[in-house]
Amino acid sequence: MLFPPATLGFVREAAVGRLEDQTALARIAMADPGGSLGKVAQSRISELTRAAIDSSQDEAALRRIAEGDPDNEARWRARQRLEKLQVEAVEKLTDTEAIRRAALEHFDDAARRAAVVKLTDQRTLVEVARSDANAWVRAAAAARLTEADALASILASDVDDDVRAAAISNPNSLLDQARLRELATTGKPSCIRQAAAARLLVVNADDTVFDQRTGLMWAARDNGCDVNWHDAKDYCARFSAGSHQDWRFPTLDELRSLRDLGDELTSFIKVTSQYLWSSDVFADKIARPLDLRVGTKLDISPTHWQNLRVLPVRRHK
C-alpha cells in the first residue's frame, strides 16, 4: 500500500517515537538535525534517558550524571533519584546505632531527616536539633523531642522560623495558653502563628474541634458535596454532633479565623473544597463564601452551588 508523502512522514515519526534503541535514535537525530524526524528522535532519546534515570539502582552512574551530564533535566533527575535511593536505604534500617549514625553523619539531607524520623534516642535528637546544618532536618528533630528544656532552648535560640515553629507545634513544649495565644495572634512569620494556633485546637472524639483562641466549636468535616446557600443554611440548622443542637452558619470573620491555621487546618478539619459558604448575604441576591486558600470573599448568587461547601459552627459555652 502506498502512502501520500505527508502521511508517510507521520508514519515514520510514529515509528521513531516508539523506538527503544538509543543508538539508532542517535543516528536518526544526527542525519536529520533540523528536521521533524530528527526532533522526534531527540525527544525520544530524552524520554528514554529520563525513564532510565528514574528506575536506575546504580548510584555510581547516577552520580556521574548528576555531576557532569550536559542536560539540566538529566542532572536534576539523577539527583532526585539518588536522594530517593538514599532515603529508601535509611528507611530500611533497623539497627539503632546505624539509624543514629545516619541521623548524625549521612551526607544527604533527606536521608538524615529520614533517620531522624526513626530515632527514639533523645540525646541524639537534641544534638541534631541543635547542630545539624539543614533547618529541615533540625525541624524534624525538634518535632520529636520530649524534653521541655531542649525545646525551650531551640525556641529561644534557633534562627530558622520553621525550626521554631516545629518546637512550638511539639506538645511537649511547655507553652501556656497565654503564650500560645500571643504567638497565634502576633507571632511572625505566618508559620509561627499557624503552629501556635494549631496547639490551641482540641480535637474531640465526637467529630468536633474546639478552637481555644476563639471559643468556637467546629464540625470536624464539611458537608462533603456541592451545595447552594439556602441548602447550606438548612444543613447547619439540622446538623447534630457532640450532642449539641445549636449549630449554625459561620460568619465570614469566623471562617477567616480558620485561615490562621494555614496548612495545619486540614490536619484537624476535613474540608473538601477551598470555598466555604458564610452566613453573609446582601439583599437576598448576593451571598458571600470565603476562599480559604487566599482569604478573600466572593460575591455570587445564593443559588450557585458548584465547588461550594459549608462547615457548621457553634459558640462553645
Question: What average pLDDT does the segment 79-107 reach?
Answer: 94
Asked if pLDDT for residue 2 goes beyond 60, the answer is: no
Question: What average pLDDT does the segment 289-300 reach?
Answer: 92
Whether the model clears a pTM of 0.95, i.e. scores above it, the answer is no
Asked if pLDDT for residue 6 goes beyond 60, the answer is: no
Considering only residues 103 and 190, tell me which one the structure prediction assigns the higher pLDDT.
103
If asked whether residues 93 and 196 sit together in one domain, one would say: yes
pLDDT tens digits, 304-314: 999 999 999 99
Q: Position of cell 447547619?
A: 236
According to the model, what pLDDT value does residue 104 have? 95
Considering only residues 70 and 290, tell me which one the structure prediction assigns the higher pLDDT.
290
Residue 245 lies in a domain: yes
Asked if pLDDT for residue 255 goes beyond 90, the answer is: yes
Residue 68 lies in a domain: no
- Count: domains in the chain: 3
Strand duo 275-276 + 308-309: pairing? parallel
pLDDT tens digits, 26-82: 888 788 777 887 888 888 888 888 888 889 999 899 999 889 888 888 899 999 999
If asked whether residues 101 and 169 sit together in one domain, one would say: yes
Residue 265 lies in a domain: yes
Domain span at 137: 89-202
- Phi, psi dihedrals of residue 293, rounded to the nearest 5°: -70, -40
If asked whether residues 234 and 289 sit together in one domain, one would say: yes
Q: Write down which residue in 158, 178, 202 finishes a domain.
A: 202
Considering only residues 167 and 33, tell me which one the structure prediction assigns the higher pLDDT.
167
pLDDT tens digits, 198-242: 898 888 988 999 998 889 999 999 999 999 999 999 999 999 988
Residue 162 lies in a domain: yes
If asked whether residues 11 and 94 sit together in one domain, one would say: no
SS3 track for the chain: CCCCHHHHHHHHHHHHCCCCCHHHHHHHHHHCCCCHHHHHHHHHHHHHHHHHHHHCCCHHHHHHHHHHCCCHHHHHHHHHHHHHHHHHHHHCCCCHHHHHHHHHHCCCHHHHHHHHHHCCCHHHHHHHHHHCCCHHHHHHHHHHCCCHHHHHHHHHHCCCHHHHHHHHHCCCCCCCHHHHHHHHHHCCCHHHHHHHHHHCEEECCCCEEEECCCCEEEECECCCCCCCHHHHHHHHHHCCECCECCCECCCHHHHHHHHCCHHHHHHCCECCCCEECCCCEECCCEECCEECCCCEECCECCCCCCCEECCCEEECC
According to the model, what pLDDT value does residue 7 have? 58
Asked if pLDDT for residue 290 goes beyond 50, the answer is: yes
Asked if pLDDT for residue 1 goes beyond 50, the answer is: no
Residue 301 lies in a domain: yes
If asked whether residues 132 and 236 sit together in one domain, one would say: no
